[in-house]
Structure 1
Amino acid sequence: MSAVLTVEHLSRSFGAIKAVDDVSFSLEQGELLALIGPNGAGKSTCFNMLMGQLKPTGGVVKLNGEKITGLLPRQIWRKGVGRTFQITATYSSMTVVENVQMSLISHHRRIYSMLPYAHKLYRTRALELLDTVGMADQADRHCAVLAYGDLKRLELAVALAHEPKLLLMDEPTAGMAPRERIALMQLTADIVRDQGVSCLFTEHDMDVVFAHAHRIMVLNRGQLIADGSVEEIRNNPQVQEVYLGGGMLFHAAEEKADA
């Protein structure tokens, strides 16, 4: 496998505070990589630098070997990076299918020629993407009336409309019920497996992380303190102590997995 994302010595300081401190890692094609850590560990700051919302204080980010450090978010998106957010970002006044159509119109660079026929453009492809995330039966509903879990699935379809090589998912299951969390991450894992997309996601729910991640990285106070398999992270004394205060939640997650 080849590295889709390579991060070398990535750092970001806010005055004297080092939010991200000399972080290096790589993400392989078709890999589902979890980035975990306590609140304030630097996870969102790291994500914002990868996507161009924040300029690094130091370090380099490469996509398929090409340096993307310092590019604008739209430029990084054009190179094949999709992202979902902790708080869903959809057009509430539009229908479900129209949201996906808008993403497809942008992907195909038809923003300035779409009116007055936008509702006809790429509808078939949009419905295919909605079917992928289990939302085809709600295509013509307005987003304003959707349940939160359905909005999260729609946001994933919108991200996939760009045919990303790399998918960044910041707290994808935040605000969702336990059953919805499991379903969304299983869907993501299926997409990674079937389409060969690489995915980096942050998550606080250990059941979700341990059930689906191929590999786990742990940040604490801006520093990468561990990087390994589910079992390696679960049994890492430093991770248990620093991240979860002795590992009680790790053991609880393990008991659920064995039940």
Structure 2
Amino acid sequence: MTPVLRVENLTRYFGGLRAVHEVSFDVAPGELKALIGPNGAGKSTCFNMLMGQITPSAGKVELNGEPITGLPPREIWRRGVGRTFQITGTYQSMTVAENVQMALISHHRRLFSMLPYAYRLYREEAMALLDVVGMAQQADRACAILAYGDLKRLELAIALAHKPTLLLMDEPTAGMAPRERIALMQLTADIVKERGISVLFTEHDMDVVFAHAHHIMVLNRGELIADGTAAEVRSNPHVQEVYLGGGTLYAAEETSHA
């Protein structure tokens, strides 16, 4: 089976600084895969290369068997890669539904023909996406007054608007309360299962990682030092040394991903 995402020897230098060095991995269809590592390990640089914000110094990236290395972010988005960010970026003056409608308008290539009736376009489709993330009841609320956890759910609905085959989630639970973190990642896991979307996410909360990720990769100083199941990564001495200074990684029971 062709992986949704294939990364081979991805490398990025900033002058003499080696940020990412020969990183290779696959993300399978319907897989929820985590990329973890200490601060400065190169996780965000990897994500930015995958999405086209940064051009790799070397290596290649394939999406569904087609090369996307060096393409601009909008073209990569058009080919089916969605992204959520650590810091949410919604239109605060618009309602929840209008934010999703704007994403749908872009997806349907109506940006230059949407005025003056944009508020009427794709309303039902937007409501269906808001229902998926549990935000339909707040459709007509202004984003400026939403709780942070609700903004994260809205951002997920926006990312789903163009029907991505791969979703990149950069610190999806950052800034959220523990219960909100659990709820958001369970929602993401449910979407992966129901829609067959592949997800690659970075995360510092090890409870979230080990509870939901099908496979886990560990990055350290720009190099991939582990890629395996939660049990394999948890018991890896090198991972324990570089990630927790010789401690033991979170050892809760793994969630079944049948």
Is TM more than 0.5 here? yes
Match of 1:43 in 2: 43
Asked if structure 1 preserves the Cα contact closer than 8 Å seen for 2:211 and 2:253, the reply is no
| Corresponding residue pairs, total | 255
Q: 1:109 to 1:255 in 2, by over 3 A?
A: closer
- Classify the secondary structure of the residue corresponding to 2:71: coil
Following TM superposition, the consecutive aligned residue runs of length 4 or more in structure 1 with deviations greater than 3 angstroms are 255-258
- Classify the secondary structure of the residue corresponding to 1:7: strand
Distance in 2, matches of 1:233 and 1:257, equals 12
More helix by share: 1
Match of 2:169 in 1: 169
Distance in 2, matches of 1:165 and 1:257, equals 25
Long gaps (5+) in structure 2: none
Q: Percent identity?
A: 74
Q: Does 1:111 align with 2:111?
A: yes
Q: Deviations over 1:108-157 (max 9, x none)?
A: 00111111111011000100100000000000000000011100000000
Match of 2:93 in 1: 93
Match of 1:73 in 2: 73
Long gaps (5+) in structure 1: none
Asked if structure 1 preserves the Cα contact closer than 8 Å seen for 2:230 and 2:254, the reply is no
Match of 1:254 among 247, 251, 254: 251
Q: Does 1:11 align with 2:8?
A: no
The CA deviation at 1:255 is: 4.8
Asked if structure 1 preserves the Cα contact closer than 8 Å seen for 2:35 and 2:218, the reply is yes
The CA deviation at 1:254 is: 1.8
Q: Does 1:143 align with 2:143?
A: yes
The amino acid that maps onto 1:175 is G
The CA deviation at 1:246 is: 1.6
Distance in 1, matches of 2:254 and 2:36, equals 19
Match of 1:60 in 2: 60
- Classify the secondary structure of the residue corresponding to 1:33: strand
Match of 1:218 in 2: 218
The amino acid that maps onto 1:254 is A
Distance in 2, matches of 1:54 and 1:155, equals 22
The amino acid that maps onto 2:251 is E
Q: 1:257 to 1:179 in 2, by over 3 A?
A: farther
Distance in 1, matches of 2:20 and 2:218, equals 12
Once superposed, what is the RMSD of the aligned Cα atoms?
Answer: 1.2
Distance in 1, matches of 2:27 and 2:47, equals 14
The CA deviation at 1:247 is: 2.6
Distance in 1, matches of 2:143 and 2:210, equals 31
TM-score, normalised via structure 2 length: 0.97
Q: Deviations over 1:140-194 (max 9, x none)?
A: 0000000111000000000000100000000000000010001000000000110
